[in-house]
Copies of this chain bind each other. A is one copy, B any other.
C-alpha cells in the first residue's frame, strides 16, 4: 500500500482544507495518509470529516516554516518544523512520498539536508509546468534550484525530465530541448553548447535549442535550462499573466459597451486566468533528491493537495527515481570528455 505524508501546516490556507484534500485522496487513489503538523489542529480537523481511521496516521510537529522566512536560517532554527519532520519520515522509509504546499526554498533545502541526492545525480532540480496555447503543457527544469549549472547538470536535468514526463504525464518519447538565445547550433553559451553536443549522443528525443517563445507554443515537452534562466522565465510568465489581466481590465473600463460585453465573457476570462496562473498546475516534483517530494503551490486548496497526492502516487507507482538512477547508469555520462572544445574531442 502506498503511503503519502502531507505537510498540512506550511500552506497559506488553513490546515483544515489541506486535511480534507488528503482524506479525499485516500479513497480515490487507494492509499494511506500521514498527516504531519500540530496534533491538536489536525485532530480538530479530522472531527469534521468522515474517514477510514485505519488509513490515517498523525505525526506531530510543533514548528512551521513561513512563506517568507529565509530557508537556511529557518531550517537551522526550527528543527521540529513540519517540512523537516516529513522529510525525516521519507528518509527513514516511513512514507513513500511527501506533499507540501510550503516555501519552495525551505522544501528544497530540507530535502537536500535530510534526503541527499539521488545516486548519479550531481544537482537536484525544480520542475514546473508552463501553459501553452494547445492542450499540452511544457515542463521546464530547473526553475530555481541551481542558478549556475555545468553542462553535465543540464544533461542530467534532461534525463530526469525525460523519465518524469514519460511516467507521470504519460507522454511517449517526450520531445526535449535546451532553452537558448536562438535555434541555431552555434547559439547559446559555452555551457549550453557542451550540453547540446552530449545530448545529441544520448538515446533521447532531443530536438536541439528552442527560444523563449517556444516554451509557450506546445512544440516540445521538456525544456531544460539553468535555475537562473528558469526562475526568470517562471516569474516572467507569472508577471506577464498578471499584467495582461490588468491591461484587459483597464481597457475594458474605458467603454460601457466593453464593460457589458466583458460581463458576458466572464467565463472566458476566468478560464484564461486559470490557464495562465502557473500555480494552478498542481504539484511539481523536486527531482534528483533521494525521495519523492511534491511541492504544491503556497495557496493550495484541498483540491490542489489531492492533485499533488495524485502526482506523488504516479511518481511512486512508476518508480520514477529508480528509473532515473538506471538511465543515468546506462548513459554513463562520465564516459564523455566534458572538457572538450571541438566536435572531434567528443569521440
Contact = CB atoms under 8 A, between A and B. Distances in A.
Interface of A: 70, 131-133, 144, 147-148, 179-182, 184, 187-190, 211-217, 225, 227-229, 231-244, 246-248, 250-252, 254-255, 257-258, 260-262, 264-265, 267-268, 271-272, 275-276
B212 A231 contact: yes
A297 to B, nearest CB: 15
A239 to B, nearest CB: 3
A243 B195 CA distance: 29
Given A147-B189, A188-B228, A268 B248 contact: yes
A87 B107 CA distance: 54
Given A189-B228, A237-B236, A258-B264, A272 B243 contact: no
A143 to B, nearest CB: 9
A246 B218 CA distance: 12
Contacts of A271: 247, 251
A172 to B, nearest CB: 24
CB-based closest 7 A-B pairs: A213-B239, A212-B235, A212-B236, A261-B261, A181-B231, A133-B246, A212-B232
13 contacts: A70-B184, A133-B242, A133-B250, A179-B232, A180-B232, A211-B239, A212-B236, A214-B235, A216-B236, A229-B229, A252-B265, A252-B268, A258-B268
A258 B250 contact: no
Contacts of A181: 144, 147, 227-228, 231-232
Contact of A272 (B217, B233, B247, B262): B247
B251 A258 contact: no
A38 B20 CA distance: 73
A265 B272 contact: no
B147 A187 contact: yes
Contact of A265 (B133, B261, B275): B261
Contacts of A254: 268
A284 to B, nearest CB: 16
Contacts of A180: 228, 232
Contacts of A234: 212
A257 B264 contact: yes
B258 A272 contact: no
A284 B183 CA distance: 22
A212 B271 CA distance: 24
Contact of A268 (B215, B225, B251): B251
